[in-house]
């Protein structure tokens, strides 16, 4: 229930215009209008949010300030005596990260006969995969095709996706759905047992497969159970703090740190898969985030310090609809499925200011513009301005009971605070959601510069280009996770490791010093406003 008078006054305007808005469809923006909007309002285009890297494979390129400080920091084990001859774990495939990509990779590596182990700084399933809600894309119906899926995603990503990666994503999508269903994922189906699919922003066909609005949780539950049932070792609360190389320059494992005891351990591996997820908890540009607490760009830093370049590291996805009120759920994801079901974005005066299914970057920029001083059409909240998402439209369009049936997680989240989204609109504002950029890989999932190192999931750059469509992230963790597991297992059969070392850590510290970068310790909470010392 909304108690502030200004909110109640605005809700009356939303209700007054609802019938007229339901009778019309807001027009789509032209390409030129979108470009101008993004340039003026999207955070990726704000120069003050970036710094230029002075060292490493991407020297001279811009990167979000918070990430830049971590990339140009010294290793926490610099000067620590790590005995690499004392091997605590010796495996064929080491998977760093236990979300959707890491679990998928481990399952397929195990299926291929490899001795595989997962290490994670939290628990298995503590990942953005668990928090994904809206669904997973796949062109598996008669009126659709992977080619059409490719065109939608390529255009939605500003034509910047790596073709070989995007082609793999869309071509393997139907099999990914089948694989998940066979593992036990309970996708939404109609009375005839046919998959229920919906639109997402930027899609030309209904290809969004969902498990109500618990899609990621259902997928992660199933993957976790499969990992456990196979007996794959999972070393929880053990963060990979540095990659290990051998005297041939190829990756040879990782140094792990027990998050409870602080003890360092050595994991030796013939191939390593980085599947550490996103970076939302760095709170770029001081935005709230929908990400879980482990999303701190760890894999990007590990790979970068070892010599693997980044791709599109300057592009971040701000999900258009994060909860803006009440404060207890500020930044929590409001799935795009809410708009797919018909809810419109509406300003303080009850006006629909954009088409509800524009791509995410355009939608986020539109909301930011509406709340800016240029338009001053946002609704005042204790956390700042926001706009309405007119959720009562859903049941007027699809019938009573639709919200509880199709988006129960959203319904329960808001009902905890007395807001009945069946009867009242909800307040939203963009939230930091997805890391479009990441480590650069080739079509087989390997980095091009560090032998036997693979990357999967949100830690990869190039799959989606410079913007991602809804439902393609749950898809990429499955497609590229599975492929990385298969490739890592196959490669491990031919790998002979030399003497292990951490020479690259010492060398990176020297490069930082030569560049005049002060790498003293600083609290990560100070990074956004700190122009001095850096440490990770």
As beta bridge partners, residue 253 has: 244, 268
User: Which residue carries 């791709």 as its tokens?
Assistant: 311
Using the Cα atoms of residue 483, residue 61, residue 283 and residue 257 in order, give the sign of their dihedral: positive
Are 38 and 309 within 8 A, CB to CB?
no
User: Which distant-in-sequence residues (6+ apart) come within 8 Å of 192 by Cβ?
Assistant: none
Half-sphere exposure for 374 (CA within 13 Å, toward CB)? 10
CA distances from 212 to 7, 174, 198 (A): 29, 19, 11
Distances (CA, A) of 187 to 175, 197, 340, 359, 529: 14, 10, 17, 24, 44
- d(Cα 277, Cα 85) in Å, to the nearest integer? 30
Question: H/E/C letters for each residue in 237-273?
Answer: CEEEEEEEEECCCCEEEEEEEECCCCCEEEEEEEEEE
The H-or-E segment that residue 320 falls in is: strand 316-323
The catalytic site residues sit at 319, 339
CA distance linking residue 111 with residue 249, whole number of Å: 28
**Rounded Cα gap, residues 136 and 471, in angstroms:** 4
* Measured distance CA(425)–CA(366) in Å, rounded: 18
Contact 122, 113 (CB under 8 A): no
Distance linking the first and last C-alpha atoms of the chain: 43
Q: By CB neighbour count within 10 A (0-12 exposed, 13-18 middle, 19+ buried), where does 441 fall?
A: buried
CA-CA distance, 498 to 366, in Å (whole number)?
A: 54
Which regions of 49-108 does DSSP assign to beta strands (E)? 50-52, 62-64, 89-96
Where are the alpha helices (H) located in 298-386, listed in sequence order? Answer: 298-305, 337-340, 360-371
For 73, 147, 253, 346, 505, the CA distances from 306, given in Å and listed in that order, are 13, 36, 12, 47, 8
Cβ proximity of 268 and 253 under 8 Å: yes
> Which residues have a Cβ under 8 Å from the Cβ of 5 and sit 6 or more positions away?
none
Task: Report residue 265 as tokens.
Answer: 């351990």
Q: How far apart are CA 172 and CA 180, in angstroms?
A: 12
* Residues 6+ away with beta carbon under 8 Å from 336: 134, 200, 201, 319, 320, 321, 360, 470
């Amino acid at each position: 229930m909304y108690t502030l008078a200004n909110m109640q006054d605005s809700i009356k305007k939303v209700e007054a215009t609802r019938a007229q808005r339901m009778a019309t469809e807001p027009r789509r923006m032209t390409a030129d209008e979108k470009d101008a909007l993004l340039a003026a309002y999207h955070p990726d285009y704000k120069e003050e949010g970036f710094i230029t890297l002075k060292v490493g494979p991407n020297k001279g390129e811009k990167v979000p300030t918070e990430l830049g400080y971590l990339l140009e920091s010294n290793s926490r084990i610099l000067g620590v005596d790590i005995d690499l001859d004392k091997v605590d774990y010796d495996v064929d495939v080491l998977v760093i990260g236990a979300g959707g990509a890491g679990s998928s990779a481990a399952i397929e590596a195990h299926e291929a006969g490899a001795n595989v182990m997962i290490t994670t700084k939290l628990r298995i399933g503590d990942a953005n995969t668990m928090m994904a809600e809206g669904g997973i894309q796949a062109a598996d119906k008669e009126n659709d095709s992977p080619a059409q899926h490719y065109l939608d995603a390529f255009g939605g990503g500003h034509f910047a996706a790596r073709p070989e990666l995007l082609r793999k994503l869309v071509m393997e999508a139907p099999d990914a759905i089948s694989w998940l269903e066979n593992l036990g994922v309970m996708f939404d189906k109609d009375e005839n047992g046919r998959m229920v699919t919906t639109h997402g922003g930027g899609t030309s066909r209904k290809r969004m497969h969902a498990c109500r609005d618990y899609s990621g949780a259902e997928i992660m539950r199933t993957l976790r159970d499969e990992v456990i049932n196979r007996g794959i070792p999972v070393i929880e609360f053990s963060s990979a703090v540095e990659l290990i190389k051998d005297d041939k320059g190829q990756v040879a494992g990782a140094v792990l740190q027990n998050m409870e005891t602080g003890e360092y351990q050595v994991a030796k591996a013939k191939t390593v898969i980085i599947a550490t997820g996103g970076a939302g908890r760095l709170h770029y540009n001081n935005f709230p985030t929908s990400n879980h607490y482990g999303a701190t760009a760890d894999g990007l830093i590990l790979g970068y310090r070892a010599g693997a370049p980044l791709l599109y590291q300057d592009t971040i996805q701000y999900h258009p609809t994060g909860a803006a009120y009440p404060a207890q759920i500020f930044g929590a994801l409001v799935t795009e499925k809410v708009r797919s079901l018909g809810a419109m974005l509406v300003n303080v005066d009850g006006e629909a200011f954009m088409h509800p299914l524009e791509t995410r970057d355009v939608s986020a920029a539109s909301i930011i513009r509406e709340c800016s001083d240029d338009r001053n059409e946002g609704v005042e909240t204790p956390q700042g301005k926001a706009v309405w998402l007119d959720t009562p439209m859903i049941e007027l369009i699809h019938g009573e009971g639709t919200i509880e049936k199709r988006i129960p997680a959203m319904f329960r989240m808001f009902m905890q605070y007395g807001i009945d989204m069946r009867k009242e609109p909800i307040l939203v504002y963009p939230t930091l959601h997805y890391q479009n950029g990441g480590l650069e890989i080739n079509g087989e999932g390997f980095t091009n510069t560090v032998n036997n190192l693979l990357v999967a999931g949100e830690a990869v750059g190039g799959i989606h280009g410079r913007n991602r469509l809804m439902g393609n992230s749950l898809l990429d963790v499955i497609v590229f996770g599975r492929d990385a597991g298969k490739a890592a297992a196959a490669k491990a059969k031919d790998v002979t490791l030399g003497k292990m070392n951490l020479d690259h850590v010492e060398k990176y510290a020297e490069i930082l010093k030569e560049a005049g970068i002060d790498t003293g310790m600083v609290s990560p909470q100070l990074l956004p406003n700190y122009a001095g010392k850096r440490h990770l």
